[in-house]
Amino acid sequence: MTENTQLEIGYSARIARWGLMAITAAFVLLPFWITVLGGFKTQGELRANPLGLPEVWQTSAYWDILISPNTWRMLGNSVLITGFTVALVLILASMLAFTFSHIKFAGRHYLYSYVILGMMFPGATAILPLFIKIRDLGLLDTYAGVILPQVAFGLAMSVLLFRTFFEQLPKDLFEAALVDGCGYGRFFWRIVIPLSQPILATVGVFVLVQSWNNYIFPLIMLNDSSVYPWPLGLMEFRGQYGAEWNRILAYITITILPAVVFFLFAQKYIVAGLTGGAVKG
């Protein structure tokens, strides 16, 4: 009798579990489905049948975007901005984190708290003075005008992640290196950095996704569409084509494709990086 009811509970629980997973997956995937297919439909078909497969697969919306030099310039701008941001954050944050983890100096705890403070405040709290500062430096409409704020706002979290990792490196390694006459600088470049590939990847991915998707800094700092990264290009395209949703959906599909492919290949680091590795700590 008891075994029977237990089985029944197990059975209904299993149905509930699959039901939950299926419904949630449908909720998540439906917008993707509509978007990707939408680009293959005509405007009229999109209106009559947003959900189903297209009757005729129209590729013109996709082709128009793929052969437009604007698309590639914009993606190029994004690659440049993101590339520099990631490189700078990795170098600056790892160096700073190393001084916190391996060099004892007066006031280092205060300095560390000072940097970590940056994690709590969204870029929006600083956006107006930042705009004025970038303008006064003559960096509006330049890549640097977007890269520098992105680097600055990426530092805090990265320093936290790097420091946690560096502190877990075996202490003997460091002492042995010092005894052998290997200084702090060489120890960092020759031993710490090569041992830190997992954390470099994690932080790199975290900064990469933030920078690639960032909209607010380019929105404020860039006015000249020749330096627009893709999120601004997307919004400009949307403004240009208004209600031609098939084009816009095609454009969205093309711009999210790199992110999705990258995600499938680097899942492990993306999940670690985007959850801030915070779960472990």
Partner 1 sequence: MSTQTLPSQASSWRQRLNSWFYRNNSGGRLTTLLLFLPPALTVFTLFVILPISESGVYSFFRWNGFTELSEGGRWVGLRNFAQMLQHDVFHVAVWNTLKIVLISLAIQLPLAMAVALAVASKSRVNNLFRLIFFLPFILADVVAGLIWRFIYDGGTGLVAAVTSAFNMEAFYPLADSDWAFNAILVVVIWKYFGYHMMIYIAGLQGISDDMIEAAKLDGASPWKIIIKVKLPLIWPAIRLSIFFSVIGALQFFEMAMPLVQSGGPGGSAHTIVTYLYEFGIVRTRVGFGSAVAVVLFLACAVFAFSYQRFVMRQRD
Backbone angles phi, psi at 277, to 5 degrees: 55, 5
In the list 15, 66, 124, 176, the residue contacting partner 1 (rule: CB under 8 A) is 124
Closer Cβ to partner 1, 89 or 227, answer by number: 89
* Total binding residues toward partner 1, as defined by CB under 8 A: 96
Closer Cβ to partner 1, 79 or 92, answer by number: 92
Backbone angles phi, psi at 41, to 5 degrees: -105, 160
Site for partner 1 in 91-120 (CB under 8 A): 92-93, 95-96, 98-99, 103, 105, 111, 114-115, 117-118, 120
The structure tokens 């801030």 sit at 276
Phi-psi region of 58 (alpha: psi -120 to 50; beta: other; left: phi over 0): beta
Q: Shortest approach of partner 1 to residue 142 CB, angstroms?
A: 14
Nearest C-alpha neighbor of 199 from the set 147, 267, 277: 277
Does 221 contact partner 1 by CB under 8 A?
no
Are 261 and 47 in contact, with CB atoms under 8 Å apart?
no
Closer Cβ to partner 1, 12 or 60, answer by number: 12
Does 257 contact partner 1 by CB under 8 A?
no
Site for partner 1 in 153-212 (CB under 8 A): 153, 155-156, 159, 178, 182-188, 209, 212
3-state class (DSSP) for residue 12: helix
In the list 51, 56, 67, 170, the residue contacting partner 1 (rule: CB under 8 A) is 51
Q: List the x/- string, 223-242, binding to partner 1 by CB under 8 A.
A: --------x--xx--x----
Does 123 contact partner 1 by CB under 8 A?
yes
3-state class (DSSP) for residue 215: coil
3-state class (DSSP) for residue 105: coil
Angstrom distance (rounded) from CA 234 to CA 228: 10
Using the contact rule CB under 8 A, the part of the chain among 58-66, 165-173, 190-198, 259-267 near partner 1 is 259-267
Does 73 contact partner 1 by CB under 8 A?
no
Closer Cβ to partner 1, 52 or 76, answer by number: 52
Angstrom distance (rounded) from CA 270 to CA 262: 9
Angle at which helices 108-116 and 69-102 pack, to 10 degrees?
150
